[in-house]
């Protein structure tokens, strides 16, 4: 068995790569504050001793170290942390120094290429940070941008503005409202403002690259809250990074 793991800043996502080349259902959990015991417990139900493990990670080194320890305790056969490369699986990295492109962004591009081999794609990964990358139909990565995700925008605003923080209080913002611009409490105004800002960046990127006619692929744990606010047509691919890891394995070009 081969286990694929996406270790983000706040969430752990994993799935099995089955013998027929397809992925099992993706599992996910917040790993904030986890020790190796929590990682081991989360993975144990889907892990078989002696399995190979492929990981893409942008998490802090302490989280990586705790995951590594958990995998050793689970008797993993071989653990590989995938890094960005100049080229792989038909995709060419647009960065002058390829290693500087985040591994999660790189692997998501590989997954996008597999889904749309004859199309340009705009890949948007919404997590703690929101990344947007454009891939030409010939596989050339043109670059991208990084902005705070909606949740990070909210935390930044609350931590930097005493008056707004006092008025927001501890009451959670209402969810499921359709009148996105008509917030009726400070907490809801902060939440909606951050979501609208994030959605506007996505729409602007899609318009900017309209000549390429890209497919807009959304992934990441924060993407679902933005979907009702988008004006651009999109496709929701929650396991895009794990699909990209599978492409790394199939290509034999890394690891």
pLDDT in tens, 77-120: 999 999 999 999 999 999 999 999 999 999 999 999 999 999 99
Average pLDDT, the chain: 91
pTM: 0.90
| Catalytic-labelled residue, pool 6, 104, 125, 151 | 104
Query: Which range among 154-158, 162-166, 167-171 has the greatest average pLDDT?
Result: 154-158
- Of 49, 107, 114, 109, the C-alpha closest to 82 is 107
What is the reported pLDDT for 177? 47
Dihedral sign from CA coordinates of 165, 167, 169, 174: negative
Average pLDDT value for residue range 217-227: 94
What is the reported pLDDT for 1? 85
Q: Two tokens at 104?
A: 């999660």
Instruction: For residue 178, count other CB atoms closer than 10 A to its CB.
Output: 6
Q: Two tokens at 90?
A: 């038909």
Q: For the segment 40-53, what is each residue's pLDDT rounded down to a tens digit?
A: 999 998 999 999 99
Annotated catalytic, 104?
yes
Percentage of the chain beyond pLDDT 90 is 77
As its CATH architecture, domain 2-81 has: 2-Layer Sandwich (3.30)
Whether 189 has a pLDDT exceeding 60, the answer reads yes
Buried residues in 34-65 as b, exposed as e (16+ CB within 10 A) = bebebbbebbeeebeeebbbbbbbbbeeebee
Whether 255 has a pLDDT exceeding 70, the answer reads no
């Amino acid at each position: 068995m081969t286990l694929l793991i996406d270790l983000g800043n706040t969430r752990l996502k994993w799935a099995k790569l089955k013998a027929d080349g397809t992925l099992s259902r993706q599992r996910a959990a917040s790993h904030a504050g986890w020790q190796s015991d929590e990682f081991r417990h989360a993975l144990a139900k889907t892990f078989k001793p002696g399995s190979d493990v492929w990981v893409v990670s942008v998490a802090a080194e302490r989280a990586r170290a705790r995951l590594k320890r958990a995998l050793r305790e689970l008797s993993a056969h071989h653990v590989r942390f995938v890094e960005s490369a100049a080229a792989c699986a038909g995709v060419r990295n647009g960065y002058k120094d390829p290693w500087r492109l985040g591994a999660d962004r790189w692997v998501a591009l590989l997954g996008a290429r597999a889904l749309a081999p004859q199309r340009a794609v705009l890949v948007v990964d919404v997590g703690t940070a929101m990344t947007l990358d454009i891939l030409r139909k010939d596989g050339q990565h043109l670059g991208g941008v990084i902005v705070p995700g909606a949740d990070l925008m909210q935390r930044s605003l609350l931590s930097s503005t005493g008056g707004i923080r006092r008025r927001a209080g501890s009451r959670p913002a209402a969810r499921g409202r359709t009148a996105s611009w008509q917030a009726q409490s400070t907490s809801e105004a902060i939440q909606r403002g951050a979501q609208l800002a994030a959605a506007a960046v996505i729409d602007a990127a899609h318009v900017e690259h309209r000549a390429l006619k890209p497919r807009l692929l959304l992934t990441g744990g924060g993407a679902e809250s933005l979907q009702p606010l988008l004006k651009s047509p999109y496709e929701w691919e929650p396991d895009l990074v794990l699909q990209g890891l599978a492409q790394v394995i199939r290509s034999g070009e890394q690891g």
